[in-house]
């Protein structure tokens, strides 16, 4: 965290809303075993909900669900599923219904990311990210929509701000997240008349995540510094707060929106990498990149 004069204090998301606003509700969260989605799940559980977290690695999910249940006093169950496979998500939704009898809130957060220039990115690598982020979001919506309709619930999809412009080395994620935003808008329009809301949260670079750990080894990042209007990187709490708000009755008239949680960074339109030098000669960012150059 920086010590900028513009530093915005972190507001732990249990401190704003009443503890029990989600009493009796059930959250279904893909990607909930780690990072931002685990943080969102914890905050929603602290407000009274029970939860199901979805991912591929059962060990990590089991550990995360015990931790979440212990920390919040609510019930969290781990379900192993691959968001690329619709039948595994259908089975996860059915198990959730058997266990809890309802699904009120869905977070579509499972994602894959790495950095690579187009020249080093295979069609297969591009396809994999589209399959996890975009198709995975679609599959999650398909598997849960009848249940979310029944509770007049809501979706929060986790996107990014990369695709608002051309972010180098992120063509796969940019395309995938543009698709996620589009899916959410259609869900909002098709499902609004059934009482279902759908919104997108777009985190900025978020402290304490795998993505940030890769970035913090980047000497260019350190040399260039990072600034945004609120003077620090996104914290998981910031995204969790926004999710609590979007699922709460306070957001009952908000749907079809994309909300960046990036401290206003988007408006500075800065480049994460020095431009165009990092594109002309990528050698100084080589260790961040996966594909061949």
Ligand X SMILES: NC(=O)c1ccc[n+]([C@@H]2O[C@H](COP(=O)([O-])OP(=O)(O)OC[C@H]3O[C@@H](n4cnc5c(N)ncnc54)[C@H](OP(=O)(O)O)[C@@H]3O)[C@@H](O)[C@H]2O)c1
Q: Residue 8 gets which letter from DSSP?
A: P
| Residue spans of beta strands (DSSP E) within 172-285 | 197-203, 258-261
Please say which residue, 21 or 224, places its beta carbon nearer to ligand X.
Answer: 224
Assess contact for 173 and 181: CB atoms under 8 A.
no
3-state DSSP assignment of residue 154: strand
The C-alpha angle with vertex 282 and arms to 276 and 285, in degrees rounded to 5, equals: 105
The residue of the chain with the least Cβ separation from ligand X equals: 35
Locate 231 and state its tokens: 């003077």
Locate 50 and state its tokens: 């029970």
Please say which residue, 48 or 144, places its beta carbon nearer to ligand X.
Answer: 144
Please say which residue, 82 or 238, places its beta carbon nearer to ligand X.
Answer: 82
Please say which residue, 34 or 185, places its beta carbon nearer to ligand X.
Answer: 34
Which residues on adjacent β-strands are paired with residue 89?
none
Across the beta sheet with 258-261, the strand order is 76-80, 50-55, 26-30, 105-108, 154-158, 197-203, 258-261
Q: How far apart are CA 205 and CA 158, in angstroms?
A: 13
Please say which residue, 20 or 122, places its beta carbon nearer to ligand X.
Answer: 122
| Helix, strand, coil fractions of the chain, as percent rounded to 5 | 50, 15, 35
Query: In angstroms, what is the minimal distance from the CB of 231 to ligand X?
Result: 17
Binding site for ligand X (CB under 6 A): 30-31, 33-37, 54-57, 60, 82-84, 109-113, 132, 158, 160, 203, 205-206, 209-212
Query: In angstroms, what is the minimal distance from the CB of 4 to ligand X?
Result: 18
CB atoms within 10 A of CB 39: 23
Query: In angstroms, what is the minimal distance from the CB of 270 to ligand X?
Result: 16
Which residues have C-beta within 8 Å of that of residue 50, sequence separation ≥ 6?
A: 25, 26, 27, 74, 75, 76, 100
Report the half-sphere exposure of 214 (CA within 13 A, side-chain side): 12
Query: In angstroms, what is the minimal distance from the CB of 134 to ligand X?
Result: 11
Which residues have C-beta within 8 Å of that of residue 23, sequence separation ≥ 6?
A: 48, 49
- Rg over alpha carbons for the chain, rounded to the nearest Å, is 19
Query: In angstroms, what is the minimal distance from the CB of 215 to ligand X?
Result: 8
Please say which residue, 60 or 149, places its beta carbon nearer to ligand X.
Answer: 60
Give the active site residues: 159, 177
Query: In angstroms, what is the minimal distance from the CB of 281 to ligand X?
Result: 26
């Amino acid at each position: 965290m920086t010590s900028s004069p513009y530093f915005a204090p972190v507001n732990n998301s249990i401190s704003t809303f009443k503890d029990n606003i989600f009493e009796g509700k059930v959250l279904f969260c893909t990607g909930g075993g780690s990072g931002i989605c685990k943080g969102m799940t914890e905050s929603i559980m602290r407000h009274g909900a029970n939860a199901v977290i979805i991912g591929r690695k059962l060990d990590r999910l089991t550990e995360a669900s015990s931790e979440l249940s212990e920390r919040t006093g609510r019930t969290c169950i781990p379900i192993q599923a691959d968001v690329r496979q619709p039948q595994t998500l259908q089975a996860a939704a059915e198990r959730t219904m058997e266990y809890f009898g309802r699904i009120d809130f869905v977070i579509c957060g499972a994602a894959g990311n790495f950095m690579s220039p187009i020249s080093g990115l295979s069609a297969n690598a591009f396809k994999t990210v589209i399959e996890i982020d975009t198709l995975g979001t679609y599959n999650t919506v398909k598997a849960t929509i009848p249940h979310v309709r029944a509770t007049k619930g809501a979706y929060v999809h986790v996107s990014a701000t990369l695709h608002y412009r051309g972010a180098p080395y992120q063509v796969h994620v940019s395309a995938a997240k543009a698709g996620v935003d589009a899916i959410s808008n259609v869900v909002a329009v098709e499902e609004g008349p059934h009482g279902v809301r759908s919104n997108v949260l777009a985190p900025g670079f978020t402290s304490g995540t795998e993505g940030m750990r890769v970035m913090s080894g980047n000497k260019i990042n350190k040399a260039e510094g990072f600034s945004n209007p609120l003077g620090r990187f996104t914290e998981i709490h910031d995204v969790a707060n926004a999710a609590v708000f979007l699922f709460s009755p306070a957001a009952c008239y908000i749907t079809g929106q994309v909300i960046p949680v990036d401290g206003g960074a988007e408006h500075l339109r800065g480049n994460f990498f020095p431009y165009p030098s990092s594109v002309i000669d990528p050698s100084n960012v080589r260790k961040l990149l996966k594909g061949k150059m």
